[in-house]
A and B are shown apart, each in its own frame.
Chain A
């Protein structure tokens, strides 16, 4: 079906993508950069900051893009990053 798609899906508002909260335990990070490299949605990037272990820990570029696959948690050798689903108060 090769038609060019020109309109926004009408039911786009109906899907509620999971809202993620990313937790980075900055000082536990050893700067390997796996999480940044493997994040499928490019949510993370290296920060300028220097942590206790003297390396640049990751920082969050756009949390809303996170789809909660938790792959960062899985690849982090030092358990310095994990994600939780945001429980939204206003029932969003």
Chain B
């Protein structure tokens, strides 16, 4: 816990000496901002002892310059005006540290993503804005304080959620490194999608043959505890110290089972086997497939005759020589302590019922690519003979329809599912291998054969005589006489309509996020991208890390991908988790609260809003207690405290108010003062920049870690100083990186808006925005929209709001 006396002494203690570096970023910034002029302006700012512009501040020379200046000019604060702090803050912090300056004495002004790139054609305005941004950064820099990062020990055990090929690989890698691993799988067996497919592209080797050895390694590994038929129900704690509850559903068969299968013969219950997408049957007691791990059989209590402890049928029990059947088993909960978590929950497949014109579910001979895998699989219901469902005959003409549920704005998902093109090519070759006479048509819009060996496979299919037709069928019609199918569409290369008759049609269905991924998202406080897959911390540089510390992704949970990529990612995730655990401890960013006990009235408001339960009220001692290690760093407690007893390190009230004051120093009546959270809305603004979306230059963004940090007094201060409008932006509700802190911000903003309304102010002047990191356009259009509001605000209105919020000018 950081308890402090009021920081009165500091100003006197040392002279603040700021160095400012304005980066050209080649022409990326210099193309629309006059960097020399910005540097000249910076030199005039208070405490700035030196201001320079250079071509690439992040280059070695640029960094050396900073180090040199720190030493030679006794700089004790550094401001770099360049790209987004989300990109290079760590770089420059390191530079400072290397020169002996505490890394928390560094500040950035984002004049690329949030200035030069979004005002490409207005050099004058862009330059003015850049100056303002540097002024704001310098104002904060003057108030920065050095901080030490706390160290937290890490439990050297890992949890892997999901036992598909990705989860299996990650678990094996970690276990081989020597860590204990819990692998939690919700199905009765591990294996995931790969266990269900027949051959794998591009090498065409047998899927289960290469997977089964890995599966049994998992089963036997001394360092892996396998929990199948189990689900994670609760996750508490933080990086290095997660407390996890897992619900182990009963199998009703003990480990004594030798997988002899005698029980199955006597079970009278017959239902479709989910593993075979219902194309084969199973019994009430069963194993989903021959190579299942664990091999222990399982009873499906939903269909078993024995319910609620009444034993109606005991045939399997009697048949079992090893007395492994136990109808009375009950669910158990396992409590696990782990330091890292790997999420490898995979993906679901698209349900083509949503496309009625393809007749899936109506016409027996329209099947999905997943069903095809089971049909052509030697271990599948037809023993590997490709039979069409209606008459169990081998089809002579087969059609594949691509992009079903993918790349569509209406029926399905916007993205390309990545595996279906190659999967179809593989499937077409499999048919050709067994039945070379079969006529095969592939209806596609683009064939995406981008990976190693993919193009070769594509050529092999063409060589084998597979016919590729560009243009998807608009409709599939069944011939009621013989259950064959007509595909009606346009060959868009030939500009000709086609009507092609086949015996069987395979819909190449896409992959989509797990239907229950919301649950995992909530349990682990993850975020998801717009398409619903889990979002990585950085798409290029931290592709397997979650934004939440200690959590990593592998496989299709992060995005649709093939087996090779899933495995690669799994090993990467294992390595990342291993690095953390090898260190044995982590440092947490020094953005935890600072507590001034003498100001605290023990009202307990902070306790209520803390998403991590890191603040507790000790009733006996009548005081507030802070558990720094549990703190997530959102700062919402600081925003909530009415008495100023809490503030956040590196985002102190003073610092933020200094930023507000700097923004509102010149022509506040023309400005939008925007508070953006680091993870979503600030990232959205960055994304708008990266995408060169143009929007009006009158917005000034003040970054906080979470929108929950935005205290009403900051907004009030902005209005009191004459700002035309204020924007508070955060992650979508439910996507907050600090569990739910953004709900607090919503409440606060709504309260403020009400106050404005009651005082006769136009409440439109205070806006709220939810924008995910991918929603650059949403951010940009909000700014465009707010520009019109700014233009409509009269000087009378500004005066009125200054009056209403007058109080905010005093008492900091």
Contact = CB atoms under 8 A, between A and B. Distances in A.
Contact between A and B in the complex (any CB pair below 8 Å): yes
Interface of A: 1-12, 14-15, 17-18, 38, 40-41, 67-69, 71
A6 B277 CA distance: 8
Interface in B312-365: 312-313, 315, 348-349, 351, 353, 360-361, 364
27 contacts: A1-B187, A2-B348, A3-B277, A3-B348, A3-B368, A5-B274, A5-B278, A7-B278, A7-B389, A8-B278, A9-B276, A9-B278, A9-B279, A10-B387, A11-B280, A11-B381, A12-B270, A14-B281, A17-B270, A38-B310, A38-B312, A40-B307, A67-B269, A69-B268, A69-B305, A69-B313, A69-B315
Given A2-B348, A9-B273, A69-B313, 19 more contacts: A1-B277, A3-B348, A3-B349, A4-B351, A4-B361, A5-B277, A6-B278, A9-B272, A9-B276, A9-B278, A10-B389, A11-B381, A14-B281, A40-B307, A67-B305, A67-B313, A69-B305, A71-B305, A71-B313
Of A3, A7, A17, A40, most B-chain CB atoms within 10 Å: A7
A17 B353 contact: no
A1 B360 CA distance: 18
Given A6-B361, A10-B387, A12-B281, A1 B275 contact: yes
B11 interface: no
B619 to A, nearest CB: 47
A67 B271 CA distance: 14
B268 A7 contact: no
Contacts of B351: 3-4
Interchain residue pairs A-B with the least CB separation, the first 7? A5-B278, A67-B268, A40-B305, A69-B313, A71-B312, A6-B361, A1-B274
Of B273, B279, B312, most A-chain CB atoms within 10 Å: B312
A54 B368 CA distance: 59
B473 to A, nearest CB: 19
Given A1-B275, A38-B310, A69-B268, A7 B305 contact: no
Contacts of B540: none
A88 to B, nearest CB: 17
A8 B240 CA distance: 49
Contacts of A71: 305, 312-313
Given A11-B280, A67-B269, A69-B312, A6 B349 contact: no
Contact of A18 (B268, B273, B382): B268
A47 B272 CA distance: 34
B439 to A, nearest CB: 23
Contacts of B371: 7
A40 B313 contact: yes
Contacts of B361: 4, 6
A82 to B, nearest CB: 15
Contact of B272 (A2, A5, A67): A5
B119 to A, nearest CB: 48
A2 B281 contact: no
B515 interface: yes
A66 to B, nearest CB: 9
Nearest to A41: B305
Interface residues of B, number: 37
A7 B366 CA distance: 10
B231 to A, nearest CB: 14
Given A3-B349, A17-B268, A40-B305, A10 B279 contact: yes
A90 B557 CA distance: 54
Contacts of B348: 2-3
Contacts, number: 79
Given A15-B281, A40-B312, A9 B274 contact: no
Contacts of B515: 2
Interface of B: 187, 268-270, 272-281, 305, 307, 310, 312-313, 315, 348-349, 351, 353, 360-361, 364, 367-368, 370-371, 381-382, 387, 389, 392, 515
Contacts of B312: 38, 40, 69, 71
A10 B280 contact: yes
Contacts of A40: 305, 307, 312-313
B305 A8 contact: no
Of A1, A14, A17, most B-chain CB atoms within 10 Å: A1
A6 B272 CA distance: 10
B268 A68 contact: yes
A67 B268 CA distance: 6
Nearest to A71: B312
Contacts of B269: 67
Contacts of A7: 277-279, 364, 367, 371, 389
Nearest to B381: A10
Nearest to B275: A1
Contacts of B360: 6
A38 to B, nearest CB: 7
B273 A4 contact: no
A65 to B, nearest CB: 11
Contacts of A18: 268
Nearest to A3: B277
A71 B307 CA distance: 13
Given A3-B349, A4-B353, A68-B268, A10 B275 contact: no
Of B275, B305, B360, B515, most A-chain CB atoms within 10 Å: B305
A68 B268 CA distance: 8
Nearest to A5: B278
Contacts of A2: 348, 515
A10 to B, nearest CB: 5
Contacts of A15: 270, 281
Contacts of A12: 270, 281
Nearest to A20: B268
A2 B360 CA distance: 17
B187 A9 contact: no
A68 to B, nearest CB: 7
B690 to A, nearest CB: 36
A9 B269 CA distance: 14
B187 to A, nearest CB: 7
A57 B653 CA distance: 83
A7 B276 CA distance: 11
A68 B368 CA distance: 37
Contacts of B274: 1, 3, 5
A80 B367 CA distance: 50
A8 B277 CA distance: 10
A8 B269 CA distance: 16
B305 A9 contact: no
A13 to B, nearest CB: 10
Contacts of A68: 268
A11 B281 contact: yes
A64 B313 CA distance: 17
B711 to A, nearest CB: 44
Contacts of A3: 274, 277, 348-349, 351, 368, 370
